[in-house]
């Protein structure tokens, strides 16, 4: 079972680890990782691994089985042997932009309080698909509202609840298509703001910035019709 170091510290850029296995597809499984594996609309991290006598660029990270993470080399190269100690390092600039976009999308779900039917994240922009038959009338008002939340410099933090508690509070789940990962007994919740200043709380396994001000200003892009009951809202980082 791969230990997710990034859950304790999303700002951890590198760490030592040991190779525990190779997947049939040529992935590298470590005992602990700072790489986020593709999931929940967020891309897997890229970066590099180095060890005594070798180095490999990592194109992405994916889930392997139920509990492991496999790092996918960018090209076919000799892999570090099982048991080898490696130094792993993520492409921090790319990851940090994913974190900014991901937190901004949580705020988008605050200013558009409707069920979410899908979403995706890149290093430049993100989008959410809402169960919304008609497009918002005032896009500028949405943009002002989300930037106002960002400027409030709200703390972003997480907590864990039991699967039974989540089942008793189904309103916490905003996404219709992506269900929170279950089966481990606990579910991670990501909150934005604390106490009277809390504006959002929802299950999420992704990486986020520590405070909303770190997102920077954003703009609402194209709003697309994706079916009779569906509108796709695109959101862009300004820098």
Q: Read off the CATH number of the domain in which 78 is found.
A: 2.40.30.130
pLDDT 10s digits, 89-109: 999 999 999 999 999 999 999
Q: Decide if pLDDT at 184 tops 90.
A: no
Residues 218 and 113 in one domain: yes
Q: Choose among 187, 199, 194, 149: nearest CA to 7.
A: 187
Residues 28 and 59 in one domain: yes
> Residue 103 CA to chain centroid, in angstroms?
8
Residues 44 and 154 in one domain: no
Give me the CATH number covering residue 192: 3.30.980.10
pLDDT 10s digits, 124-155: 999 999 999 888 888 899 999 999 999 999 99
Domain final residue pick, 63, 90, 117: 90
pLDDT for residue 10: 96
Residues 120 and 212 in one domain: yes
Q: Decide if pLDDT at 178 tops 70.
A: no
Least confident of 97-106, 176-185, 198-207, 209-218: 176-185
pLDDT for residue 41: 92
pLDDT mean over 223-230: 87
Q: Choose among 77, 43, 40, 38: nearest CA to 57.
A: 77
Q: Decide if pLDDT at 199 tops 70.
A: yes
Task: Break the chain down into helix, strand, coil percent, rounded to 5.
Answer: 20, 40, 40
pLDDT band at 181 (very low <50, low <70, confident <90, very high): low
Residues 135 and 171 in one domain: yes
d(C-alpha 158, C-alpha 198), whole Å: 12
Q: Decide if pLDDT at 182 tops 70.
A: no
Least confident of 17-26, 27-36, 96-105, 180-189: 180-189
pLDDT for residue 68: 95
Query: H helices within 69-179, ranges in order?
Result: 92-111, 139-151, 163-168
Q: Which long-range contacts (CB under 8 A, 24 or more apart) does 58-61 make?
A: 58/28, 58/88, 61/33, 61/35, 61/36, 61/37
Q: Residue 100's domain spans which residues?
A: 95-237
d(C-alpha 45, C-alpha 61), whole Å: 6
Residues 56 and 127 in one domain: no
Residues 57 and 126 in one domain: no
pLDDT mean over 21-49: 96
Mind giving me the DSSP string for 157-176? Answer: EEEEEEHHHHHH-GGG--BS
Residues 78 and 102 in one domain: no
Domain final residue pick, 42, 62, 90: 90
pLDDT for residue 9: 95
Residues 100 and 83 in one domain: no
CA dihedral sign, ordered 141, 147, 150, 152? negative
Residues 103 and 215 in one domain: yes
pTM to 2 decimal places? 0.93
Task: Give the DSSP H/E element, type plus range, for residue 15.
Answer: strand 14-22
Q: What percent of the chain has pLDDT over 70?
A: 96
């Amino acid at each position: 079972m791969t230990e997710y170091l990034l859950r304790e510290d999303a700002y951890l850029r590198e760490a030592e680890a040991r190779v525990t296995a190779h997947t049939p597809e040529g992935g590298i499984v470590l005992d602990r990782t700072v790489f986020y594996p593709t999931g929940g609309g967020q891309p897997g991290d890229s970066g590099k691994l180095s060890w005594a006598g070798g180095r490999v660029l990592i194109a992405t990270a994916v889930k392997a089985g139920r509990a492991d993470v496999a790092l996918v080399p960018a090209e076919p190269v000799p892999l570090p042997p099982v048991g080898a100690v490696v130094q792993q390092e993520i492409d921090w600039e790319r990851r940090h932009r994913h974190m900014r976009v991901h937190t901004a999308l949580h705020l988008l779900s605050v200013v558009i309080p409707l069920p979410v039917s899908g979403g995706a994240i890149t290093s430049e922009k993100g989008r959410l698909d809402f169960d919304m038959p008609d497009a918002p009338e005032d896009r500028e008002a949405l943009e002002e509202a989300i930037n106002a939340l960002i400027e409030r410099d709200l703390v972003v933090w997480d907590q864990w609840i039991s699967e039974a508690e989540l089942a008793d509070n189904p309103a916490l789940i905003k996404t219709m298509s992506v269900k929170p990962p279950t089966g481990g007994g606990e579910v991670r919740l990501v909150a934005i703001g604390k106490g009277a200043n809390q504006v959002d709380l929802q299950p999420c396994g992704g990486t986020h910035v520590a405070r909303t001000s770190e997102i920077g200003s954003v703009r609402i892009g194209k709003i697309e019709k994706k079916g009779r009951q569906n509108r796709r809202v695109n959101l862009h980082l300004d820098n």
